[in-house]
Amino acid sequence: MADKQHLNLVIIGHIDHGKSTMMGALLIKTGAITDREARELEKIAKEYDRESWSYAYVFDRLKEERQRGITIDLAFRKFETKSKYFTIIDAPGHADFVKNMITGASQADAAILVVSGKKGEMEVGIAANGQTREHAYLAQTLGVKQLVVAINKADVWDYDEDRYKECKEAVSGLLRNIGFPVKKIPFVPVSGLKGENLTEPIDKLSWYDGPTLVEAIDKFEVPEKPLDKPLRLPIQDAYKIKGTGVVPVGRVETGVLKKGDKIVIMPTEFQGEIRSIEMHHEEIPRAEPGDNVGFSIRGITLKDVSRGDCLGHPDNPPTIITPKGKWTGQIIVIWHPTAIAQGYTPVVHAHTAQVAARFTSLMKKLDQKTGAVIEDNPKFLKRNEAAIVELAPIKKLCLEKYTEIPEMGRFAVRDMGRTVAVGIVKEIETGA
């Protein structure tokens, strides 16, 4: 695996379009899961009367998920293709779990958008309030540039070429509007339930001459690693492990983390030294952008670190915006029941952080296609409108300017279980 290129892959799409089932099948087909594990999963599925979902059990490991049949937290799994190895981030599809999807997508280099080709399901997903649309918007804003669309449930739509074309056309239109280069995106018909067209072509799809799903994702390009940028590592979580102490985990966004490094965690300002770094249960001497790692730090306690904090080097610490500060963002409003006005205080999601923030000023309304100013100081912002706004966090938040560290300069605005807007950070006043 060491000589293969590594990519983080996020699986996105509407609830019940078959993401977990398809990826479970893929893990079994690529040998990432042993036959023994597969048999064990089938046994568990039967206990819960969910036989057709046994593939999904690979991903839905939490007990609560097993009973509810829903993917709740981000499940990490590895598998290999001919030239790459992937860490899969399975992003949940239920609307109230989009929060997890946001932290997942911001860690991904590429995405598989799973769209059910079943009559009615595809249409619901791309409708104005559908999650296919919402997830695709988020993926684009959160910097996922490479995409493969899996048109799933081929066994349900009878491997019908006309239905495939219909789905491809509808989803292409949506992706084109969002700004994805549709000509470069493969649309692969698959059956996750039957494990078809994932690793090898099948006769029932003889009209389709494109790649299998594995061939399509094997063509993803590995992005240039931002090694020369300052170290930024947003904290996903921190665990207390017997005999080791507190182990924070997260993904390196920029820069390099090495064993022995002096580090600072913001906003707690805790300083310490890296004792060891682990990836996929193996100790490594250094971690680079894209690596999901756990690490131990001398003297750290759970008070010093939590999800949403950011780790850097003391000579170039992560930028913190305090409640006295603010940032200027360029946003697109995806959804709002009425309109956004000054004073609106939703929750902002940026990297792994979730912090309430107040719209302190609506500065300019923009033409979404050209970026030209349409109106200064608009009173309201409605769905599908683009704007420059000012936001102030209710508590300290790590953010960077998009032009300097894009990986840390994107954010999503969430309210009432929905994504209201997505945006990038233009300017920062720390308020310190």
- What's the mean per-residue pLDDT of the chain? 87
How does DSSP classify residue 13?
-
* 307 contact partners, CB below 8 Å, separation of at least 6: 235, 236, 237, 238, 352, 353
* 117 contact partners, CB below 8 Å, separation of at least 6: 151, 152, 153, 154, 156, 157, 163, 164, 167, 189
Give residue for tokens 């084109």.
176
Residue-wise pLDDT for 199-226, tens only, equals 999 999 999 999 999 999 999 998 888 9
Q: What percent of the chain has pLDDT over 90?
A: 57
pLDDT at position 140 is 80
- Domains, the chain, ordered by start: 5-218 (3.40.50.300), 233-312 (2.40.30.10), 320-429 (2.40.30.10)
Residue-wise pLDDT for 43-98, tens only, equals 766 666 555 555 665 555 544 444 554 444 444 578 899 999 898 775 554 544 55
pLDDT at position 188 is 98
Cα dihedral 370, 373, 375, 381, rounded to 10, equals 60
pLDDT band at 241 (very low <50, low <70, confident <90, very high): confident
Residue-wise pLDDT for 153-198, tens only, equals 999 999 999 999 999 999 999 999 888 999 999 999 999 989 999 9
pLDDT at position 250 is 92
- Using a 10 angstrom Cβ sphere, with 0-12 exposed, 13-18 middle and 19 or more buried, the burial of residue 283 is exposed
**Minimum mean pLDDT among 47-61, 72-86, 381-395, 401-415: which range?**
47-61
Query: What is the separation, in whole angstroms, between the first and last Cα of the chain?
Result: 46
Averaged over 88-110, what is the pLDDT?
Answer: 60
The token pair at 61 is: 């490991």
Which CA distances in Å does 14 have to 20, 71, 129, 376? 11, 12, 11, 37
pTM tops 0.85, yes or no: no
pLDDT band at 290 (very low <50, low <70, confident <90, very high): confident
The token pair at 401 is: 């300017």
For residue 15, pLDDT over 80 is answered with no
Q: Say whether 208 sits in a helix, a strand or coil.
A: coil
The DSSP-derived string for 102-124 is HHHHTT-SEEEEEEE-STTHHHH
